[in-house]
Amino acid sequence: MRRYKDIFSNGHNRLSGRVLLLVVTSSLSLTLAACSQSNTSAADSQSVPAEPSAAQTVQIASQEAEVAPVMIPATTQSTLLKNVSATVYKDANCGCCKEWVGHAEDNGLSATTQHPEDLSLFKDRYGVPQQMRSCHTTVTTDGYVFEGHVPAKHMAQFLANPPVQAIGLAVPSMPVGSPGMEYQDKFMPYKVMQLNNDGTTEVYADIESPQQQM
């Protein structure tokens, strides 16, 4: 009787072991299958395209080059003073005067510079009042006077329609931020003054920001 019990017990143990092994193996297979399916789904959802080959890259670049628009470099020059010629009387060593001449030429002015020993003689000759004087005096071929750092914009406006009583414009002294007097991002509001035949002056333009002089 004991022998049958042993045989039954051993058989039962082997059967239990096989069942347990089958359960573990099935669970592991299901886990691996689920993980594999999950990774496949994630990969499918991301749909990461393969990188193009070297030949495809060249072809793409060639196609882009064919449709790329032609870019024309921007220029800072304008034609505000295109038909205006003038002589600028200034000190030979004046850096801001040179910068202003560059500003005027960039806007189309045809400028000739002279460096007299006594600038005040020319300011007297062209009727620039003492309180309106600056570092250089510009005289156009038709006789109008522009004293100091007058913006090309206002020179052009004046010359397009000069007031009957006026001989020109002036920016007294040398305000920081005016054309030729740029310094970092600093700006000092200033007035462009109209010079009249009788020696009087009046405000021609109030410049409150750098944009107003452009």
pLDDT, averaged in runs of 10, over the chain (214 residues):
42 41 38 36 41 47 40 57 97 96 97 97 97 98 98 98 97 97 95 97 97 93
115 & 208 share domain: yes
Same domain? 122 vs 204: yes
Q: Is residue 75, in this structure, part of any structural domain at all?
A: no
Facing residues of 137 across strands?
A: 89, 147
Q: pLDDT value at position 77? A: 61
- pTM equals 0.65
Same domain, 107 and 190: yes
- Short-list 139, 134, 141, CA closest to 97: 134
Clarify whether residues 109 and 183 are in a common domain.
Answer: yes
- Token reading at 182: 């740029």
Same-domain pairing of 119 and 182 = yes
* Number of other CB atoms surrounding residue 202 within 10 Å: 12
Domain holding 183: CATH number? 3.40.30.10
- Judged on CB neighbours under 10 Å (0-12, 13-18, 19+), 108 is middle
- Residue 45 resides in a domain: no
One domain for residues 186 and 103? yes
Task: Please indicate, yes or no, whether residues 15 and 94 belong to a single structural domain of this protein.
Answer: no
The per-residue pLDDT for 140 is 98
| Within a domain: 154 | yes
| Domain count within the chain | 2
